[in-house]
Amino acid sequence: MIFVLPDLPYSKDALSPCISAKTLDFHHGKHHQLYIDNTNKLIAGTDLEGQTLREIVMATANDPAKAGIFNNAAQVWNHSFYWRCMKAGGGGAPTGAVAEGINKAFGNYENFAKAFKEAGMTQFGSGWAWLVEKNGKLEIMKTGNADTPMAHGAKALLTADVWEHAYYLDYQNRRADYLQDFLGKLINWEFVNQQLAK
């Protein structure tokens, strides 16, 4: 199986001004593509060739000898997931099962938003902020570099990429503003509800 760059689920200017077409050109077209190219090279001729991305991530997690494969394959998975977490005109409070789960776990949407933003702000260096389901309840996680919830027994529902390449062209060092726009204007809650229902 040769992995290929998935199309964005919207046009490159659809998320503007929160995320510009220029950012998506670099982030999707260059960074995500490089992780895919590296993954294809690293698994060629190995017992991982022909496996799904999820299988490759799980097979290489916590194996220092396969860190290069994990880092690239997990970044392919994380990015493919991240693009679908956003849409034009998204954000704000959720509805449906996710709203019920957030109210149960955090008390209300405002508490969730504060905790999610804090996870993104306190992830030192590169990484991700996540809403996950673990042991039947919703939790917020943060992971460094390429790390991903599935490697920790959790199901990803939502993520914000806090690597600088996700926001620097649009926000420079203002990660807080990027996260505020992500929460208020970009989250695709329909996608999040679909993940919860799986």
Is 31 flagged in the annotation as binding?
no
SS3 assignment, position 175: helix
Q: For residues 1-37, b (16+ Cβ closer than 10 Å) or e, as one string?
A: eebebeebeeebebbeebbeeebbeebbeebbeebbe
The C-alpha angle with vertex 26 and arms to 25 and 29, in degrees rounded to 5, equals 65
Q: What is the Cα–Cα distance from 47 to 178, expressed in whole angstroms?
A: 40
Ligand-binding annotation for 152, yes or no, is no
C-alpha 166/C-alpha 83 separation (Å) is 11
Ramachandran region, residue 131 (left: φ > 0; alpha: ψ -120 to 50; beta: rest): beta
Q: Counting beta carbons within 10 angstroms of the beta carbon of residue 95, is it exposed (0 to 12), middle (13 to 18) or buried (19 or more)?
A: exposed
Per the CB < 8 A criterion, the answer to whether 117 and 176 are in contact is yes
Distance between CA atoms of residues 164 and 175, nearest Å: 8
Annotated binding site: 27, 79, 161, 165
Annotated binding site for Mn(2+): 27, 79, 161, 165
